[in-house]
Amino acid sequence: MKQHRAVCGTVATLLLGLSACSPIDSSDTRYETDYANHEPLHVFGYPSTGSLQVVQEIVWRLADGKAGDLEKLATSDSTDSETRKTAANWVKSFQKGAQGKVAADFYDEASERQVVVLYFQGTQQVKEVTVRLDGNAGEDGWRVMMNEVSLKEAISPPTWAPKEPGGNGSVSDS
């Protein structure tokens, strides 16, 4: 019996040591922490898992004022300078709104690309973003197009979108 306890103790110590040394998926941990620390996103329409996740992360990076982290969510077809300027414009313009209640209206189907209209309820701002699958983005694949280098362009609300989220059934008229 004494020998059995010694073996079990050794195995338990070994397993604890292995689990303490095993890598923790920092992206999962970061997502869970972000989710717990931010206002939940109110969603309309039919996002895919990937399009929803990237839009949620866009709102979180805006709320936190982290333009550098927002840049990391950009598609590969924007230049570094376009992405940097766009991220700065978006944070400057939408940070306050992203810290409160935000609704996201997902338009069309989300097999490769999706237009999303963000409604920042506290500031009454509306922002259109386009997210798409990006072959250079790795496993998750979804990224946001960031090529609005002028502040005027960045803050211009979409003229076609309803004034309130969910007002058009989340399907474009095109």
Residue boundaries of the structural domains of the chain? 25-155
pLDDT of residue 166: 85
Please give the C-alpha separations between residue 144 and each of 18, 70, 132, in angstroms, as whole numbers. 38, 9, 6
* Confidence class for position 39, pLDDT limits 50, 70, 90: confident
Between residues 17 and 3, which one has the greater pLDDT?
3
Could you read off the pLDDT of 142-165 as tens digits, one per residue? 999 999 999 999 999 999 999 899
Between residues 12 and 33, which one has the greater pLDDT?
33
Alpha-carbon gap, residue 151 to 143, rounded angstroms: 21
Mean of pLDDT values over 86-104: 96
Q: Which position has the token pair 């709102």?
A: 59
* Confidence class for position 53, pLDDT limits 50, 70, 90: very high
Please give the C-alpha separations between residue 10 and each of 23, 40, 69, 85, 159, in angstroms, as whole numbers. 22, 44, 43, 56, 67
pLDDT of residue 77: 84
Quick check: 38 and 59 in contact, CB under 8 A? yes
Architecture of domain 25-155: Roll (3.10)
Mean of pLDDT values over 98-124: 94
pTM greater than the 0.85 cutoff: no
Where does residue 169 fall: left (phi above 0), alpha (psi -120 to 50 degrees), or beta otherwise? left
* Confidence class for position 135, pLDDT limits 50, 70, 90: confident
Alpha-carbon gap, residue 80 to 156, rounded angstroms: 22
* Confidence class for position 3, pLDDT limits 50, 70, 90: low
